[in-house]
């Protein structure tokens, strides 16, 4: 059971425990009302940074050239001073280089390629859901959610089946954990393992290219030179990280929300709400990636506060997606919510490249649940993710009654 919010000044947003032990939505409601843009004090381990909580300010800053992502886009990384992939990885690149990389990678997200991947998603999800429906109890996270997004992005990258288990293990350690005793060294080691894996694979695909994203990156040129294996690796790392974590957590949160809101589950089964609308509400409700970080490259003002060049600025999507000025009764799970202009996939130049696939995965899950499941029942306590970047659960014991 989470505790009441402790007040705007007293919560350490760098501590993963904050997001488990606190009523975080009540906290953000207080922040939006009392100090929508404020300075988070330095701690013994980290420098201070700006916290931006209102939807309008966050949406505007996604477009603002006064902020850069080159030094990192996750708080833990930016607080350490820099991102080693800055200027090489799409997510931490700005300006002309960002546009070049994005256009290059977008070529792998054509309707033909995505159509084949989405069809595999549909078949795989239907098969996974069909296997778990029945008399027994099972962990939805382990038996279903873990196996959909990682395989989807691995299909896109043509990752050998034998390697996918290790990638999932490393990916789950890279930005979060199921345990408070996991260290920063564990996360850093996992990230390094992923990058080293893709460096080796990039060289193999350069020597023997195929019809896949890695081969495309390995044989492409930007500014009249090929990408280095390091550049290829960090961009594959970004695809794996973004393609797995957020979709996996959204799927787990979707099932829990449907169990806790049986009226919405029955409306979905009865066809009273569209799958498209349901997907958008699930993504808003769960907001798996709760913040993005930026660094100011010049002085500017936001919410009446003066930000200085070099300051770290954090944009809290979890707060924006629950802003009462944009979303009516935001903590009500409403599958028919419209409009639903959430920021879960970001906004502007850094809008998530994999948003289409993420939506397709959730639609496949909902379609399979409606086709196979009569009722869903929680059979234990969900285990929360231990992270200050991701929110959700990595274990969900449930029972599905066959339709």
Transcribe 336-363 into DSSP letters. T-SS----TT--GGG--TTHHHHHHHHH
For each of the domains in the chain, give its residue range(s) and CATH number, in order of start. 18-402 (1.10.630.10)
pLDDT of residue 2 exceeding 70: no
Res 354: pLDDT: 87
pTM value? 0.92
Count of residues making up the chain? 403
The mean of the pLDDT values for the chain is 91
CA distances from 39 to 12, 16, 35, 167, 307 (A): 12, 19, 9, 37, 10
Strands 383-384 vs 393-395: parallel, antiparallel or unpaired: antiparallel
pLDDT of residue 178 exceeding 70: no
Predicted confidence (pLDDT) per residue in 212-237, tens digit: 889 989 999 888 899 999 999 999 98
**Of 8-17, 30-39, 305-314, 386-395, where does mean pLDDT reach its minimum?**
8-17
Tell me how far apart the alpha carbons of residues 205 and 215 are, in angstroms, rounded to a whole number: 5
Tell me how far apart the alpha carbons of residues 361 and 246 are, in angstroms, rounded to a whole number: 11
Are the CB atoms for 217 and 202 separated by under 8 Å? yes
Beta carbons within 8 Å of 340's beta carbon, 6+ residues apart:
277, 280, 281, 284, 327
Q: Dihedral, CA atoms, 308, 312, 345, 301, nearest 10 degrees?
A: -20
Average pLDDT over every residue of 18-39: 95
Local confidence band at 297 (pLDDT 50, 70, 90 cut-offs): very high
pLDDT of residue 300 exceeding 90: yes
pLDDT of residue 3 exceeding 50: no
**Of 7-11, 77-81, 248-252, where does mean pLDDT reach its minimum?**
7-11
pLDDT of residue 6 exceeding 60: no
Are the CB atoms for 311 and 50 separated by under 8 Å? yes
SS3 182: coil
Average pLDDT over every residue of 89-110: 87
Does the N-terminal peptide bond of residue 305 adopt cis geometry, omega within 30 degrees of 0?
Answer: no
Are the CB atoms for 155 and 122 separated by under 8 Å? no
> What is the number of other CB atoms lying within 10 angstroms of the CB of residue 313?
22
Local confidence band at 4 (pLDDT 50, 70, 90 cut-offs): very low
* Beta bridge partners of residue 22, listed in sequence order: 3
pLDDT of residue 257 exceeding 90: yes
Strands 67-68 vs 292-296: parallel, antiparallel or unpaired: antiparallel
For residue 383, give both structure tokens.
């285990």
Local confidence band at 241 (pLDDT 50, 70, 90 cut-offs): confident
Strands 49-52 vs 37-40: parallel, antiparallel or unpaired: antiparallel
């Amino acid at each position: 059971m989470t505790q009441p919010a402790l007040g705007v000044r007293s919560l350490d947003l760098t501590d993963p425990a904050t997001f488990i032990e606190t009523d975080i939505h009540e906290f953000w409601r207080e922040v939006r009302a009392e100090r929508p843009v404020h300075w988070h004090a330095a701690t013994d381990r980290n420098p201070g940074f700006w916290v931006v909580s209102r939807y309008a300010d966050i949406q505007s800053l996604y477009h603002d050239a006064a902020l850069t992502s080159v030094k990192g886009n996750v708080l833990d990384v930016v607080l350490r001073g820099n991102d080693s992939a800055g200027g090489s990885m799409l997510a931490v690149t700005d300006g002309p280089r960002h546009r070049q990389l994005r256009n290059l990678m977008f070529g792998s997200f054509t309707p033909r390629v995505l159509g084949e991947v989405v069809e595999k998603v549909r078949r795989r999800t239907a098969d996974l859901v069909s296997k778990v429906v029945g008399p027994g109890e099972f962990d939805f996270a382990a038996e279903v959610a873990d196996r959909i997004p990682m395989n989807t992005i691995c299909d896109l990258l043509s990752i050998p089946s034998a390697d996918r288990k290790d990638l999932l293990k490393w990916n789950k350690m890279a930005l979060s954990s199921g345990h408070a005793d996991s260290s920063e060294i564990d996360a850093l080691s996992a990230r390094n393992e992923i990058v080293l894996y893709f460096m080796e694979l990039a060289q193999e695909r350069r020597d023997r290219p195929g019809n896949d994203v890695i081969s495309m990156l390995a044989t492409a040129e930007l500014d009249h030179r090929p990408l280095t294996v390091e550049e290829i690796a960090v961009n594959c790392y970004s695809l794996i990280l973004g393609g797995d974590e957020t979709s996996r957590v959204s799927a787990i949160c979707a099932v829990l929300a449907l169990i806790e809101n049986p009226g919405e589950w029955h409306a979905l089964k009865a066809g009273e709400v569209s799958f498209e609308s349901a997907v958008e509400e699930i993504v808003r409700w769960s907001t798996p990636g709760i913040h993005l970080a930026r660094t100011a490259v010049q002085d500017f003002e936001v919410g009446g506060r003066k930000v200085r060049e070099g300051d770290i600025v954090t944009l809290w999507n979890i707060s924006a997606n629950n802003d009462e000025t944009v979303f009516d009764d935001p903590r009500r799970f409403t599958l028919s919510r419209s409009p639903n202009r959430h920021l879960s996939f970001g906004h502007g130049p850094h809008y998530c490249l994999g948003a289409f696939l993420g939506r397709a995965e959730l639609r496949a899950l909902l379609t399979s649940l409606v086709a196979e499941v009569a009722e869903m029942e929680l059979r234990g306590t969900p285990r929360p993710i231990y992270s200050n970047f991701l929110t959700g659960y990595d274990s969900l014991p449930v029972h599905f009654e066959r339709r």
